[in-house]
Amino acid sequence: MIRRTHSHFEKKEAIFEKPIQRIRFRRVSKEIKPNSIVCDLGCGYNANFLFSIKNKIQKGVGIDFSVNKKLTTKKIKLVEQNLERSVPKNIGEFNFIFSLAVLEHLENPNVLISSAYNLLKPGGKIVLTTPHKKSKGVLEFLAYRLNLISKTEISDHKHYYDQNSLMGLLKKHRFKNIKVSTFGLGLNIFAKAEK
């Protein structure tokens, strides 16, 4: 089993990684309200999502275990932090927490969901994507047989979810108004919920 030694896009990635990332970004970016303060938990090395929405937001913070701190600007701050531990205590600062294709990589996703709840302002929203459990075989085929997506990323998947299990995780951490659906031919789950 290959273990991750770097954040997503820190090194060269397989050919389909960028197009898949764009599909994810397109699905979630319409959730952002103008001038929001956002946090991306598991932002990847270059915080691609935050930079793709920088003209819509007031401020963004990206957190991952390895980030390119040289990209930090007045508007976007990048923070190195292991998401398996509680994240910095900016209690109630953010309008939106995003975590895109991250939960499946965590031994204990409860830490991230609990941290997200604490980081959100009252009424703030969490927006998540994760592969659907039925996508496991497809992802492994694309990674191991065709080399079209990252073997390292797929090998690092610790959990797969369906709509009910993801909804249960969010309910457990007091989120309300939970909406869960699929996208990308039903291979991915999209969830949003409110503090």
Q: Each residue of 87-132: pLDDT tens digit?
A: 767 667 999 999 999 999 999 999 999 999 999 999 999 999 999 9
In order, the DSSP letters of 51-77 are HHSTTTEEEEEEEESS--GGG--SSEE
5 within a domain of the structure (yes/no): no
Scanning the structure block, which residue is given the tokens 């709840």? 117
Q: Which residues partner with 192 through β-bridges?
A: 127, 179
152 confidence band (pLDDT: 50, 70, 90): confident
pLDDT of 33 reads: 92
63 within a domain of the structure (yes/no): yes
Question: In whole angstroms, what is the distance from residue 109 CA to residue 169 CA?
Answer: 9
Report the CATH number at residue 125: 3.40.50.150
Q: What is the mean pLDDT of the chain?
A: 91
178 within a domain of the structure (yes/no): yes
Question: In whole angstroms, what is the distance from residue 134 CA to residue 154 CA?
Answer: 14
In total, how many domains does the chain have?
A: 1
pLDDT of 17 reads: 81
132 within a domain of the structure (yes/no): yes
Q: Give the pLDDT confidence of 7-37 residue by residue, as tens digits.
A: 665 667 667 788 888 888 999 999 999 999 9
Query: What is the residue range of 155's domain?
Result: 17-194
3 within a domain of the structure (yes/no): no
60 within a domain of the structure (yes/no): yes
8 within a domain of the structure (yes/no): no
94 within a domain of the structure (yes/no): yes
Scanning the structure block, which residue is given the tokens 């951490």? 173
pLDDT of 11 reads: 65
pTM over 0.85: yes
